[in-house]
Amino acid sequence: YFARKDGVSIGVLSDPLWWQAVGNTLWFTFTSVTLELLLGMLLALLMNEKFRGQGLVRTAILIPWAIPTIVSAKMWGWMFHDQYGVVNDLLGKIGLPSHLAWIAEPSLSMWAVVIADVWKTTPFMALMLLAALQLIPADLYEAAKVDGASPWQRFKRITLPLIMPALVVALIFRVMDSMRIFDLIYVLTSNSEATMSISGYAREQIVSYQ
């Protein structure tokens, strides 16, 4: 970034589209990682319980994570179709506004990206937290029950402190991955200005204007 003698500024710091891309990336990272943490924790706690068909449920939950990002972006693009998409059809059946232009409407397109990303990467968060949960000795919970601790107290005093290292690692991985998002946005929304990320902006500068 520098200013010429005539006062015209040149560089990414003077480009409004750059700052919009930064804002989009930060908003996407905060929103998607927060939702993935909450949903991943819930799934991990559920999968940690013993029930019939536990192995099948764990396998099914991990399927979205195994699907390539390009494939999942195309799939969600069809589901978000404003006229024939499954999402709008479900909204109409429960009495909510349908025919929403999820991809074309700037106020909705970033939410469409977040939904697709949360669906795909929440299993990663759940898997990391589940691995940490399975390392906690059952004796600690039994002793807490004897002492009269409620489920929330057991979670706050035992579960959360013991899984904190794994939780921090999972958050670091997800934040780093979200900050460099490109393929999901590029395929799902064609890298529109409303959803352009930092990586998408870099691609536009390198490829489109060389």
Beta bridge partners of 9: 3
DSSP summary character for residue 205: I
- Please count the CA atoms within 13 angstroms of the CA of 180 that sit on its side-chain side: 5
Number of structural domains in the chain: 1
Provide the angle, in degrees to the nearest 10, between the axes of the packed helices 160-179 and 106-133.
140
Q: Which tens digits make up the pLDDT trace of 76-117?
A: 999 998 888 899 889 888 888 778 888 888 889 999 999 999
Q: Report if residue 180 sits inside a domain.
A: yes
**Is the entire prediction scored with pTM above 0.85?**
yes
The predicted-structure confidence for 2-58, as pLDDT tens digits, reads as follows 555 555 556 677 788 889 999 999 999 999 999 999 999 999 999 888 888 888 888
CATH of the domain at 165: 1.10.3720.10
Domain annotation covers residue 82: no
CA separation for the pair 72, 61 (Å, rounded): 15
In a domain, 12, yes or no: no
43 part of a folded domain: yes
Contact 185, 191 (CB under 8 A): yes
Asked whether residue 146 is domain-assigned, the answer is yes
Q: Is 4 part of a structural domain of the chain?
A: no
Which among 159, 171, 200 is positioned nearest to 24, based on CA atoms? 200
**Is the residue at 19 inside a domain?**
no
DSSP percent split of the chain into helix, strand, coil, nearest 5 = 70, 0, 25
